[in-house]
Structure 1
Amino acid sequence: MADDGSKQSTSDQNWPISKFYFTVDFGGAMKNTSFQEISGLDIESQPIEYRAGDSSVFSTIKMPGITKSGNVTFKKGVFVKDNQFFAWYEQIKMNTIKRVTVTIKLLDESGSPTMTWTLNNAWPTKITGTDLKSDGNEVAVETIEVAHEGLVIANA
């Protein structure tokens, strides 16, 4: 018999979180910006290989080394008179840039944050404009790539 949803067990109340409902706060650098896609929320520890000279085992051991974070890519639609990405990017001078804290929140169906990614000391490294096609019917999308100095992940 098919489940009509009238009975709920504890296992039925735990669903994976949908990834389409999220907000981004650029710490005041950009206001009222909605994004289509965010990628690159990764962090890794680079392995260090080591072998002591008097080790009886003829292979190396691996230890965790320096933590490395990749750049995060944000994609959004192009709007008339919206140059927030480029205005932030234009602030780059030799070894100087306004660094901000970027907070990305994955929301549940009620709009409450369920997971939060915080990018510390973020700044723009690359802007990519939309591609142009005379026979296209897609929305114009621009991309900004952001470097940062650490990713903090927290659950609600």
Structure 2
Amino acid sequence: MADDGSKQGATWPLPKFRFEVDFGTQLKGIAFQEVSGMDKEVQVIEYRHSNSALFSTIKMPGIAKYSNVTMKRGVFVNDNTFWAWMDEIKMNTIARRTVLIKLLDEAGAVTMQWQLNNAWPTKITGTDLKSDSNEVAVDTIEIAHEQLIITNGS
């Protein structure tokens, strides 16, 4: 007999299709088609003591590096929010924000959250236009950030 999940204590992995993104005070609960690139990498520092008996190096953790996060979103009438954010970038002046990516459960409660600190747009790609297509127009925004903090929902 197959396990239908009705047993007490059964746990299931979280589905990834229901999520929203907050870009600050005026931009809350934005729906995206796709979010990717939430990566963290710690660089490796190799070191060898001059009097070490081992003929090899010691590997130690170095500086943390974060990938740019890419988000894809449908184009809406009179909504140039991301283009306006990109236009705020001038020489040595960047409108940095805290971006929250929230994974939601079936009731809409936050189950997991990724917080991007000091985030700013590095690239926006407008939709491609095709006269023989029936697809939705989608813009892509790429965001650089300095820290990724993951928290669990309440």
TM (normalized to structure 2)? 0.92
Tell me the residue number matched to 2:60.
63
Match of 1:83 in 2: 80
Q: What residue in structure 2 maps to residue 49 of structure 1?
A: 46
State the Cα deviation string for residues 75-134 of structure 1 (Å, max 9, x = none). 001112111110000000111111110011101111111111000011110000111222
Flag structure 1 segments of 5+ consecutive residues without an equivalent. Answer: none
Distance 1:29 1:49, change over 3 A: farther
Aligned-partner SS, 2:30: coil
Which residue of the other structure, out of 124, 128, 144, is the alignment partner of 2:125? Answer: 128
* 2:150 equivalent to 1:147: no
Supply the AA of the counterpart residue of 2:59. Answer: K
What one-letter code is carried by the residue in structure 2 that aligns with 1:35? F
Q: Give the conservation status (yes or no) of the 8 Å contact 1:34–1:76.
A: yes
Distance in 1 separating the partners of 2:15 and 2:39? 19
> Does the alignment pair 1:8 with 2:10?
no
- The one-character-per-residue Cα deviations of 1:2-37 (angstroms, maximum 9, x if unpaired) are 348495243xx2010000111111013635632110
Q: Which residue of 2 aligns with 1:103?
A: 100
Query: Which position in structure 2 is the counterpart of 1:24?
Result: 21
1:122–1:29 distance in 2 versus 1, CA, 3 Å: farther
CA RMSD of aligned residues (A): 1.7
Verify the 8 A CA contact 1:77 1:141 in the aligned structure 2: yes
Q: Residues 126 and 110 from structure 1, CA distance in 2 versus in 1: closer, same or farther, beyond 3 angstroms? A: same
Stretches (4+) displaced over 2 A: 2-7, 28-33
The answer on whether the counterparts of 2:21 and 2:29 sit within 8 Å (CA) in structure 1 is no
Match of 1:118 in 2: 115
CA contact (8 A) 1:29 1:100 kept: no
User: What residue ranges of structure 2 are gaps of 5+ in the alignment?
Assistant: none
Alpha-carbon separation, structure 2, partners of 1:131 and 1:19: 26
Name the CA distance, whole Å, in 1 between partners of 2:116 and 2:38: 9
In 2: Cα distance, 1:29 partner to 1:65 partner: 37
CA distance in 2, matches of 1:130, 1:6: 42
Distance in structure 2 (CA, Å) of the matches to 1:78 and 1:109: 26
Equivalenced residue count is: 153
